[in-house]
Amino acid sequence: MVARELLGCVLVSRHARVVTAGRIVETEAYLGPEDAASHTAFRPGSRALFYGEGGHAYVYLNYGVHYCLNAITNPAGEPGCVLIRALAPTEGLPAMARRRGTPSSPRIASGPGNLTRALGITLRDNGADLTTGRLVILPPATPSPVTVACGPRIGITRSVELPLRFWIEGDLSVSGARRR
């Protein structure tokens, strides 16, 4: 599963002259029509991206307040994406804190909305190429042996029971479990 491989990869955002980056420590997988929580199930407009070629970004404004960053994972024609939920800051922490308007903290990019705000990601990054654009995902610089845990997804109202959420065990930047 690609969601698992993404853990430990580094997400780099270059906005103007500011570079912010972090290690991906938490992801969630979203599937095609058979996944009731996937946007493909109730948001046809997102289908073009879901079914598009892998390696592109799918950015979505949620609750009118927060953005969510997804990576399209599958070859063209096959729906599937991974929601990036949390980052462990590795570069540009002060810039993240400035964008967030909060003090620097390991949890500055913990949670989908926090993450996108910290990296300055907006709707205009929707559909961007994650291999060449100002938003890039790199393989782990130093493949560190980590424990990957998996469990139910968070914050959704459908198919919550599917164990499609992955995170790095014990990492400080993983977002805390919430209930609904």
Partner DNA sequence: CTCTGGATTGAC
Partner DNA sequence: TCAATCCAGAGG
The binding site for DNA (CB under 7 A) comprises 28, 30, 37-39, 42-46, 58, 60-66, 68, 70, 81, 83, 100, 102, 111-115, 123, 154-158, 175, 178, 180
Nearest alpha carbon to residue 68 among 106, 7, 125: 125
Task: State which residue, 104 or 141, has the beta carbon closest to DNA.
Answer: 104
Least distance in angstroms from the C-beta of 106 to DNA: 13
Task: State which residue, 63 or 139, has the beta carbon closest to DNA.
Answer: 63
Instruction: Tell me the two tokens of residue 7.
Output: 């853990």
Calculate the alpha carbon distances from 83 to 47, 53, 101, 104, 157 in Å: 15, 16, 24, 24, 16
Least distance in angstroms from the C-beta of 175 to DNA: 6
Least distance in angstroms from the C-beta of 36 to DNA: 9
Which residues have a Cβ under 8 Å from the Cβ of 23 and sit 6 or more positions away?
Answer: 8, 9, 10, 11, 87, 88, 90, 140
Least distance in angstroms from the C-beta of 19 to DNA: 22
DSSP notation for 75-97: PTTS--EEEEEEEEEEE-HHHHH
Least distance in angstroms from the C-beta of 100 to DNA: 7
Task: State which residue, 21 or 49, has the beta carbon closest to DNA.
Answer: 49
Task: State which residue, 17 or 51, has the beta carbon closest to DNA.
Answer: 51
Task: State which residue, 101 or 139, has the beta carbon closest to DNA.
Answer: 101
Helix H or strand E segment including 115: helix 112-119
d(CA 150, CA 16): 36
- Partners of 30 in the beta sheet? 81
Q: What does DSSP assign to residue 155?
A: S
